[in-house]
Amino acid sequence: MKSIFEEISKKSGDSEFFVEIPDGYVPGKTKYIVITGTVISGIGKGAFSSSLGFLLQKHGFAVESVKFDGYLNLDAGTMNPFRHGEVFVMDDGTEADMDFGTYERFLDKNLSSSNYLTGGRVFSRILKKEREGAYLGRDVQFIPHVTGEIKYFFRSLAMEKKPDFIIIEVGGTVGDIENSYFIEAMRQLSYEEGQENVCFINLTYILEPTSLGEQKTKASQLGIKRLMSAGIQPDVIVCRGERTISEKAMEKISVYSNISREMVIDCHNLKTIYEIPLWLEKQGLDKKVLRRLGHKPKEKIDLDEWKNYIRRIEKPKREIVVGIAGKYTGLKDSYASILKAVEHSGAYWETGVRLKWIETTDVNKENVKDALTGVSGLIVPGGFGARGTEGKIACVQYARENNIPYLGLCFGLQMAVIEFARNVCGLEKANSTEIDPKTPNPVIDILPEQKNIHGLGGTMRLGGQDVHIIENTLAHKIYGKKFVRERFRHRFEVNPDYHETLEKNGLVFSGWSAKEKNIVQIIELKNHPFFIATQFHPEFTSRPLKPNPIYREFIKACIDHATNA
């Protein structure tokens, strides 16, 4: 008798099992963990997925994290941070959902486009294949072609990276129209791979109306029932909530979800997301998932280093205030990786870092002193467009003239160059051509290769690039090496026509592109306690136990400034 997998491996267009399988793929070598959400979005699936992957790594297994987002964008690159949070840039240049930052930080590994799937990517692949005649004359349908493309994506990742586990996070909630075909693909994946090779985990939110004062599970029951009606029986249900989930609530979830009580897990809000792995391990979730998928867990895993990291966050020896001058301050998710990089570095120095948010659209030369009162350091983050730029420039000038440690990131480098050109070099109305196309002194101009590009999506200098660090500079002291690799996301550069003037007046170019001549990547000032700006985004490579060197030394400078103030 043929197995189901042998049947689906048929290539005939007449077979209802028609689905493409990567050459050499063997079911069971890689196990799949599918994570869905019910009741509300933003429930913390990314933090949970990352925490579970972290624990599985501690058991000695290789893990890949994947996220599916149902939107029809090809990637997150053109999305406004106010709508979708930070755009996270991976080393290969993929612009992705901010959850990928959490994955990379927890798993301490670089991910790529092979880990990221959107509705737009699925359909663009299918339409390309259809035009090429790849479907053997068949009418192209959601089943089997859309669902087949999704399954092929995951099996290709399994063949490429050969992990023990692929953790698949389904964005949004069960019941969303844009997720329906993906949920069906996951049902088919379990059918084809065998239930012993696929584990379904549902995160559900337990409501607790203040007017009632008790936890209510009805919304969770209905959401889980909807998942079950799609043919997916969850193996584990993780209950989210503001406080500890009651035994009564978890018993109800167990009864109505058709799973044993021990497979219902409490994951209420904790002090930091870093506590999630410890809390899940305490309830034995990692061991339950491993046994469910036929693996033998370790009796004990080493979490001491992680616990020590949490201790340094929760019990710092001192506290400092760092200002962040930007224009997306109304949504902190816009700067998620920056916040995490600051947190990593604060923990490294056993220092609590309190942030002062400075909305630069409201800042000018007259009130900048008030805006920066009490800060021991200033960060000007990345951004696009003219709004708030004069406020950022005023903040940079104040930090430069008052010896406040300064870290400029991408756009923050450009603002620092403009400020220096205007106020030190005397270049009247110096600006970026992005902000003022008619500026008489375009000290910041568009990349040469960008001048003939008219679209927006995926057209910037993106991803990891090698940077040549100049010896006897602050940058070299920080990194301690001649070449480093960091991630970029920008279109504009320091205009080479102004390099000589800027350098002659004291601006130091301490980092250059390792590939192209005359492309500045790091600037700094000599006669300043700490003034450095990077064209790249060092926050994307910062990890909890390995803070990025730029952030690490910036926070140290802020501590010194606070101590000597």
Catalogue the active-site residues.
Answer: 410, 537, 539
Q: Can you say how many angstroms the Cα of residue 493 is from the centroid of all Cα atoms in its chain?
A: 25
Residue whose pair of structure tokens reads 């992957």 in the numeric block: 53
d(CA 28, CA 422): 63
Annotate 153-208 with DSSP letters as a single string: HHHHHHHHH--SEEEEEE-S-TT-GGGHHHHHHHHHHHHHH-GGGEEEEEEEE-B-
Distance of CA 269 to the CA centre of its chain: 20
Q: How many helices (H) and strands (E) does the chain have?
A: 19, 21
Selection from 272, 295, 271 nearest residue 56 by Cα: 295
Alpha-carbon separation of residue 526 from 380, 504, 508 (angstroms): 19, 13, 7
**Residue 139, H or E segment:** none
Please, which residues bridge with residue 63 across strands? 165
Asked whether the beta carbons of 381 and 326 are under 8 A apart, the reply is yes
Q: Pick from 250, 306, 241, 248: which is nearest to 270 by CA? A: 241
Q: Which two tokens stand for residue 413?
A: 């480098």
Contact 94, 460 (CB under 8 A): no
Which two tokens mark 52? 């579970």
Q: What residue type is assigned to position 57 of the chain? A: Q
